[in-house]
Structure 1
């Protein structure tokens, strides 16, 4: 009798377990812990980027990266900008912690180190999209595979894997836009990285009709941003870690994709910035936003990296 009761109780327990939506529960827990972590980082950023800390971070001089100091900037397009889309408005001021950002998009030579190190053999994300591929989609195309050309044909998951490998992250939309458009001397927002007037000779865009990307820095310094970033307009669009198009005003602690993220985001429009060799002037303005599916792998899109979280060992010289 006791055995029958135990068996019945066990069966009832199994029914409960098998019917419980553990997958949803795990995602819910991950969502709330991830959000709490982002909020904590946002609050700590104001502490970590006090003048003395900000000044020290400037001295690190990370190779191939440029330091963007903590402070406010204007994000989005002005109301009188006739070429601006609705998702670029209203223009608003936001405050960002200091961070380092790559001077150029990641090149094929840099990405090849990741491939050769077994980057495609490791599962970097719980919902891995990296292991479905063994290399970028245009890896053998002579128009796009020069060592100094920006890597293209990589989806959002592949870029997240690479940035984790180099112990960096993708930039947020705000980090990308500040580095590309803000002039720290005049404290004014630029329409293009070099200024407010369109000049096709300063970037690789559709007017040249090259039909492919060019080596990073080919249009430097005439096409550089005020901070000294290269190729923020044209050449290749760039992935950011913002996983969907939220309306403005921009929230600094909004939802982003991290390397340990367990969500499947294939259905969400992820944000890219900067325009490409195939885009016209209005699409490569610094405030222009474009959506792309996370699994998209095309010849127009690459990425650059950011580093803004520093541990004690990072700060040792």
Structure 2
């Protein structure tokens, strides 16, 4: 590994750990060990878990070093214990967890200076280090979602996102030409197994919303009885709506004649031009049907995000192949809210679609599956064990997602009933014969 790559890895490890520290040091010990929702682990479990994964893959496998705490491996194995059961485990206390992750990190930085990173695939281009950075950043987003679920005084602060500077996006569509494009990647060195291999996909022409669906648009769905009309919902979605008593996005509540939203302990009126967030797949699908549209497929979403009609090439990001900068997308927990639509014109795709990266994860109407030629790497439990119709895909990242774990090929998935994640959506539709003629 070149000195430049070693420096980049070290910087990414340090930057990521600073985010983890902020999320775990901003609350007291009681909040760290408390389970704020049965959907989430105690924050102290997440903290020790990221250290355990770092120890397993970097200290023991890549470095060939002696184990730090092999006795806790089972406690922090996400497949051994459901989230709802983790508070009852003999977990490391906050002080022990902090000491553990610090010890592991010291060993990782020591081996980073000397370990040869050529040869086997796990270490080529620093993949194992990139995998661990992305894993910790994913847990940082999970911990941010836990913060959203906690009660009590606000503890997190951040500047407001930038205002909209592109008017007229709400309700605007972009037509995506039919034809093949390259989906997935073979070249991104830190891409994970479910993003690979790249392959050609033919996508018929379609229209997609130029921006995510906003709170204002979603309020119209509520006002027009969208939650009371089963014709907009799938059978599965309607059954869930009734069972869960859904009547608005998670964290919304009625406020006089309107609605308010509680975000990280602060309640404010709904912002009309902000992308709607904390909706499940079923809500997104019902809205799309009510609007006379549908959710895009995963291939449609990725084509809208990556395809450059001038070159015929798929880009790494909507704005091109260059790395993320703060002017291009709302990532990295720099702002603790989605930005209004039209706030990031520098992140627009070649086809003219806005805010495909950052702000809110976008539900797409595709089950989680491997691409043709998929091979699990470096372990089946990252992706393959989740393949099947139980999970729906989300694309594009959110304001809580870090740039290290977000690119136009990155694939996220969850149960279609989940709402605690920072999830929104945009709509698509088939073109009419007149539009395609």
TM-score between the two structures when normalised by the length of structure 2:
0.51
- Give the Cα–Cα distance (whole angstroms) in 2 for the partners of residues 153 and 177 of structure 1: 22
Q: How far apart in 2 are the matches of 1:268 and 1:210?
A: 32
1:77 aligns with 2:188: no
Alignment correspondent of 1:138: 251
> What residue in structure 1 maps to residue 314 of structure 2?
189
Give the helix-richer structure, 1 or 2.
2
Match of 1:112 in 2: 219
Q: What's 2:418 paired with?
A: 296
Q: Does the alignment pair 1:205 with 2:331?
A: yes
Deviation at 1:309?
A: 5.4
Q: Deviations over 1:24-67 (max 9, x none)?
A: xxxxxxxxxxxxxxxxxxxxxxxxxxxxxxxxxxxxxx951000
1:65 equivalenced with 2:154 (yes/no): no
Aligned residues: 234
Displacement of 1:267 in angstroms is 7.6
Per the alignment, residue 370 of structure 2 pairs with 247
Residue in structure 2 matched with residue 259 of structure 1 by the alignment: none
User: How large is the Cα RMSD of the aligned pairs?
Assistant: 2.3
Corresponding residue for residue 157 of structure 1: 282
Please list every run of 5 or more consecutive structure 1 residues that lacks an aligned counterpart in the other structure: 1-61, 251-265
Q: How does 1:87-106 map to 2 (within 5 A)?
A: 87-106=194-213
Query: Structure 2: how far apart are the matches of 1:213 and 1:180?
Result: 18
Of 208-217 and 181-190, deviating more is 208-217
SS at match of 1:278: coil
Alpha-carbon offset, residue 167 of structure 1: 1.0
Deviations 1:268-315 (Å, cap 9, x if unpaired)?
1210000010111133200100011110113511000001153x7x86
2:209 and 2:423 mapped to 1: Cα distance? 16
SS at match of 2:420: coil
Which of 343, 360, 364 is the equivalent residue of 1:218?
343
Contact 2:357/2:397 (<8 A) preserved:
yes
Does the CA contact (< 8 Å) of 2:362 and 2:396 recur in 1? yes
**Deviation for aligned residue 1:142:** 5.5
1:116-131 matches, within 5 Å, as 116-123=223-230, 124-127=233-236, 128=238, 129-131=240-242
Secondary structure at the counterpart of residue 268 of structure 1:
strand
Whole-Å separation in 2 of the counterparts to 1:161 and 1:301: 15
Change (3 A) 1:126 1:299: closer
* Superposition map of 1:160-175 within 5 A: 160-175=285-300
Question: Would you say the 8 A contact 1:238–1:301 is kept in 2?
Answer: yes
Q: How far does the alpha carbon of each residue in 1:79-104 deviate from its partner, in whole angstroms, 9 at most, with x for none?
A: x3112110111101111110000000
Q: How far apart, in 2, do the equivalents of 1:277 and 1:286 lie?
A: 15
TM-score, length-scaled by structure 1: 0.69
Name 1:272's counterpart in structure 2.
394
Which residue in 2 is equivalent to 1:7? none
In the alignment, is the contact (CA less than 8 A) between 1:237 and 1:274 conserved in 2?
Answer: yes
The Cα shift of 1:199 comes to 2.5
Cα distance between partner residues in 2 of 1:284 and 1:247 = 18
Alpha-carbon separation, structure 1, partners of 2:197 and 2:389: 26
| Distance in 2 separating the partners of 1:138 and 1:183 | 38
Q: Which residue of 2 aligns with 1:176?
A: 301
2: CA distance between counterparts of 1:216 and 1:283?
A: 22
